Amino acid sequence: MIATRIENRVGGGIPDVHLLWDGLPFWMELKTTKNNSIKISPQQIAWNYKYSINGGLNFFLVKHLFWSDLFLFRGDQGSRLLDQGLCDLAPFYTLRVCDFTSLFASLRPIVLAHYKKKDPVT
């Protein structure tokens, strides 16, 4: 896996990390919270939503600093995540895990499934 941290000080909403896993690309916006609210800019919401609905694979990864749990949301969920906060979104997160090892073990089938449905039928 290759992970590239993106430093974007100009804006535009581009996520924090671009990942390439066995030739399969995806993006992750990294967030933390001590409570229910998640700080997401309008540019981050727009970029992630547009990328997601156009067939790209991207996520919001939120680490709760008190519970230490990691919550993974699809890229099109940014607006909902901002408006409703972390605790109100249990039905909408893709994964909830306790550590990064579990995250990547659980994420792999999601990444593979996304690209498998994009393969042309032969």
Per-residue confidence band for 85, with pLDDT thresholds at 50, 70 and 90: confident
DSSP string for residues in 19-86: EEETTEEEEEEEEEESSS-----HHHHHHHHHHHHTT--EEEEEEETTT--EEEEEGGGHHHHHHH-S
Predicted pLDDT at 106: 92
Euclidean distance between CA atoms 60 and 16, whole angstroms: 10
Euclidean distance between CA atoms 31 and 65, whole angstroms: 10
CATH architecture of 2-116: 3-Layer(aba) Sandwich (3.40)
Reported as a single tens digit per residue, the pLDDT across 92-118 is 678 889 899 999 999 999 999 999 876
Q: Is the pTM of this model over 0.85?
A: yes
Reported as a single tens digit per residue, the pLDDT across 26-44 is 999 999 998 888 999 999 9
Give residue limits of the domains in the chain. Answer: 2-116
Length of the chain: 122
pLDDT at 90 over 70: no
pLDDT at 67 over 60: yes
